[in-house]
Structure 1
Amino acid sequence: MNQSAPPPAQPQPQPEPVDGNPYAQQPADGAPSAPQPGTVLPPPAPGVPYGAVPAPAPVRNNIGLGLVAAFVAAVVAGGVYGAIIGLTKHEIGWAAVGVGFLVGLAAGRFGGRNPVLPVASAVLSLGAVYVGQLVGEAMIGAKETSLSFSELFFQHFDVIQEAWKADADPLTFVFFAIAAYVAFTGARKAAL
């Protein structure tokens, strides 16, 4: 029977220190690797207390994009606010705050730090709350009459406005003020 001896064991290449640092070793294949878990790293070099600082994010200042985003947010939030009023038959203050928040957030995130955007956000949120309240009045009126919502809202808009004036109370205008304030401050805080 012919048995051959196993081939002689070849020594495994050992990782070498990188730049004289015994903790940062480079494997035999040449690719650098991270230190092993539990390895105590040496203190940083004198005069360099911290690692590299990343560059700051670029500041957005796109007024057009901010205004478009705020307008779209105002239309959507105003519609949702109107639907809430129409379904519950009540003005809900937190929903008006939500309208202002969404408009300000959209303007700040997409438009940046332009000083026009907080003011535009406040104005757009006022319009969104007003249109939302009119949509709510139209939904309530459509339930009480034989007219559809679209007929009532688009063909008898003057009737909707008269109903809104009759239902408006001081709290209605408080909701306007809160929504405008939240939109203004939200646009300033959300700006990148």
Structure 2
Amino acid sequence: MTDAPLRLAVIIGSTREGRVGDRIARWFVAQASGRAGLSVAIVDLASFTFPAGYPARATPQMSAFAAEVDRADAFVVVTPEYNHSFPASLKQAIDFAYDEWHAKPVGFVSYGCRSAGQHAVDQLRTVFTALHAVSVRDWVGVDLLDGGDDLEAFLAGESPVQAAQVLLDQLSWWGRTLRSGRAAHPYVS
């Protein structure tokens, strides 16, 4: 199992029409795809039909999302910052899984204006700690005001690319270490 590719799920946390999260996620996937030993999948919350309220029994879409989380060894959450927090659609989806998050690393690629999504990341770290996940230290923050009219050109710059590589280094180390640990000793919450 230690030689198997690390399964990295890149979760697009915004479901808003006109979002830029899908473009940022594709850029990050391109950064990750160049790495040996990683198998990368996009999990786009906009492609799920979640219920407006939390039902007594999981819907097929809720179960499908939890299965995606369960399959992954590590996560990158691509999140906007809305009003100094992360979107409700992301919190709703995160809550559809519980044990599936345990003892797995999560990293963040955030975006916003001026803060580059740091407030959203800070709050997500608290949420993932409650889910027994390990958040990695470094993150990629994209200030949409710096990107001007050409987000792709901005993302191709040295600073975002370097930040993505550091994040991938940390996720790879934690992902392999925690996967080996879970295999040797099942996690107890």
TM-score bin (small chain): under 0.3
- Higher alpha-carbon Rg: 1
Give TM-score, length-normalised by structure 1. Answer: 0.26
Point out the structure with the larger helix share. Answer: 1
Give TM-score, length-normalised by structure 2. Answer: 0.26
Point out the structure with the larger strand share. Answer: 2
